[in-house]
Amino acid sequence: MGCLPVTIPVKNLKWIPNSKKSYLARIGINTLKDLLLHFPRRYEDRTQFFSAQPLESDSPVCLFGIVVKTSFQRYGHNPPCFEAEIEPQHANVFSHRWTCRWFNSRYLAKIISVNDKIVIYGKIRIRRQRIYLDHPEFEIIEELQDSIHFGRITPIYPCGDGLNSRLLREWIFVALQEFDPKTIPDILPPKEIVIPREEALQNIHFPPNFETLEKARKQFVLEEFFKLQCLLARRRQRALSSHSTPKIVSRKLLNKFLSQLPFSLTTSQQEVLEELLAEIAEPRPMRRLLQGDVGSGKTVIAAACAIATVEAGWQVALMAPTQILANQHFKNFHRWLSPLGISVSLVTSDQRTLPGELPLFSSPFGGDVIIGTHALLYESTPLPKLGLVIIDEQHKFGVEQRARLLNRGICPDLLIMTATPIPRTLTQTIHGDLDVSFIRERPALRGTIKTLVRPSSHLPQITSFLRNELSQGRQAYIVYPLIEESEKIQAAAATERYEFWKQALAPYTVELLHGRMPADAKEKTMQLFHQGEISVLVSTTVVEVGLDVPNATVMVIENAERFGLAQLHQLRGRVGRGQLPSTCFLIQSENTKIATERLSTLEKTSDGFEIAEADWRFRGPGDLLGTAQSGLPELRIGDLIRDSHLMEHARKTALELFSQDPSLANYPILLQTLVQFEESISQKFADT
């Protein structure tokens, strides 16, 4: 056991060559502690190598052998390819040599030579009865006995330029002997600690067996999740401990509104509304996420909350992610609220109020509803009477943006509406500081949506199906996917498809809608589509959220495999909004098995949460977490899918701890860790 405090900077660690220290800094390793907590990305069992019959597979294998030949080969006009033939060294009845190929890697000739002992990790390919591994990971082995690199379960590390796993392994091996365990205290509450810290550290890097490894890993994952949940608990506590003035919710206007709706609320809507109204009336501010599938009727609920808030003498701000949506909300709210004497105004980057509308702040109740896009964030006038902030489609806004809008008032209530169902673990992570309500039921009388996955060779049949629907006066959306992040390229592709569909569907009116069109042109197209003057809208994903045209009964989504399932589900929610049966074609241009399997999920279910879970399994959480949007740090070791039960546990533990000791008076180390953690996060997200 060593005596070095873990806070010691890397530059003072004698066993690391000075020339390498700047490379460590580049991957965020600045102290001994950073080095110890640099977790392996995978492990190789270098006690047992692959010895079965080599078969092509997508699971990589680990092989140990001797290099018997190296050469450069040419394949077509490509630059020469470096090849190494390997003779397997372990118990192996198959005497084949294995050929490892690295394209475009001339420099490897200086690294790999004949007679080297080498560990190879890669996927088997069989071509003309020869066994190939293309671009395998490899490591030259110098010592077979008493080695930290061989004859054990060996850690493989994430590394950057100028580093490799072998170097990191050596340095971490020494670090584990030199550090003083007292200087790296646990932050988990004692009852959660299964393995002492030093043992866990030892075993996460150099596990004697996989069971021990799993225990150590679990400990670190739990710690990581616990830290995250404490962060969320603190955010939440901060929000809830600030006092907002309780609002007196009289239901006069509200009841009038509800009785004038052409439908009655579903049970699910009623329950949620009661929950929200109760919270609005309380002295602590509301922090609530309203999840409900597309078309489940969240907007009506938001309007009801707005009415109650205005009636109590406060203002309401509603922020939408796009201008089209802001306009649509504005129209709905205006239609619903003006008859009650409530003024609604629109603030977007283009116009402050729509011509002919009531000016701001002029309702007889001294309250108002202001609807807008991001523009709402950049207005700096304080709104002292702001009592409720509603954010539609939360995942498009970041936590910082949310905070900015809230700060315009004095601790207003917050209601976030999202139609993107996300798996439970993710809700607890991204929205861990919020309470969550669900609208599970869809209003009855809603038309059914039939979903069909089709190859692009079926375009002629789909076209005649479309023509048939159009001939009955129906309308349709044709959506072209996001090929690149750039809206410019997307728009160009949609434009091309637009020409195709215009001809294919003549004489019906086909129009184009994409995000790069000027706002008034977009608005006009939308309006004409609403009025039924346009039959078919060819668009990019700008129609994803919120458009409500009950007469639209067909949706065709091209290159559907390029979308996530959740997004496809959102898109198809644009049809089936009236009582007519609707159809959604998912056209698949790439016929891979996995794509078909993935898309067929949508043929089978219309439950947004089920789809979200499936999407997650297929794609991983990558694009949902760790982005600037969530305002959360990236996970270093935990995996939200694999470790979801641990997230659940961490959340419970954190909430318990905060309810017993809100100021963390008994947990000074945890408190200090969290404060540092918060600082690093706010630095990271300061510019977003």
Residues near Mg ion (CB under 5 A) are 546
Q: How far apart are CA 391 and CA 379, in angstroms?
A: 16
The nearest distance, CB 393 to ligand ADP, in angstroms, is 9
Residue 7 vs residues 3, 180, 182, 184, 252: alpha-carbon distances, Å: 12, 10, 12, 9, 63
Closer to Mg ion by CB, 487 or 548: give it.
Answer: 548
Whose CA is closest to 119, among 61, 58, 57, 54? 61
In this complex, which beta carbon is closest to Mg ion, that of residue 372 or of residue 546?
A: 546
* Encoded tokens for 184: 């790296």
Q: How far is the CB of 376 from Mg ion (least distance, A)?
A: 17
- b/e per residue, 376-395, with b = 16+ CB within 10 A? bbeeeeebebbbbbbbbbbb
Question: How far, CA to CA in Å, does 483 sit from each of 43, 405, 459, 559, 595?
Answer: 36, 32, 20, 9, 16
From residue 144, how far is each of 47, 353, 669 by CA, in Å? Answer: 11, 76, 43
Nearer to ligand ADP, 169 or 442 (CB): 442
Q: How far is the CB of 328 from Mg ion (least distance, A)?
A: 9
Q: Could you tell me how many residues of this chain bind ligand ADP (CB under 6 A)?
A: 16
In the list ligand ADP, Mg ion, none, the entry touching 292 (Cβ below 5 to 8 angstroms by class) is: ligand ADP
> CB of residue 573 vs Mg ion: minimum separation in angstroms?
9
Q: For the segment 292-321, give every residue that binds ligand ADP (CB under 6 A).
A: 292, 294-300
Q: What are the C-alpha distances in Å from 478 to residues 134, 409, 500, 530, 600?
A: 41, 41, 11, 15, 19
Q: Shortest approach of ligand ADP to residue 392 CB, angstroms?
A: 8
Q: What is the CA radius of gyration of the chain?
A: 30
Q: Does 63 bind ligand ADP (CB under 6 A)?
A: no
Among 548, 610, 639, 648, binds ligand ADP (CB under 6 A): 548
> Which partner, Mg ion, ligand ADP, none, binds residue 611 by CB below 5 to 8 Å per kind?
none
Local structure of residue 161 (DSSP, 8 states) = T
Q: Which of 41, 263, 270, 675 binds ligand ADP (CB under 6 A)?
A: 263
Residues 197-236 contacting ligand ADP, CB under 6 A? none
Per-residue x/- mask for ligand ADP, residues 377 to 416, rule CB under 6 A?
A: ----------------------------------------
Strand, coil or helix: what is 518? Answer: coil
Residue 48 tokens read as 């047992």
Which parts of 276-295 interact with ligand ADP (CB under 6 A)? 292, 294-295
Residue 431 site contact among ligand ADP, Mg ion, none (CB < 5 to 8 Å, cut-off depends on kind): none
Compute the least distance from the CB of residue 360 to ligand ADP, in Å.
25
Give whichever of 54 and 546 is closer to Mg ion, judged by the CB atom: 546
Q: Give the integer Cα–Cα distance in Å for 76 and 144.
A: 39
Q: Are strands 81-88 and 582-588 parallel, antiparallel or unpaired?
A: unpaired
CB of 2 to ligand ADP, least distance (A): 59
The Cα–Cα gap between 6 and 147 comes to 25
Q: Which of 131, 156, 265, 342 binds ligand ADP (CB under 6 A)?
A: 265
Judged by beta carbon distances under 5 to 8 A according to partner kind, the member of Mg ion, ligand ADP, none in contact with residue 266 is ligand ADP
- Closest-approach residue to ligand ADP (CB): 297
| Phi, psi angles (nearest 5°) of residue 248 | -90, 110
Q: Is 576 in the site for ligand ADP (CB under 6 A)?
A: no
- 443 belongs to the binding site for ligand ADP (CB under 6 A): yes
Residue 572 C-beta: closest distance to ligand ADP, Å: 12
265-284 residues labelled b (16+ CB within 10 A) or e (exposed):
bbebbebbbebbbebbeeee
Binding site for ligand ADP (CB under 6 A): 263, 265-266, 269, 292, 294-300, 419, 443, 548, 577
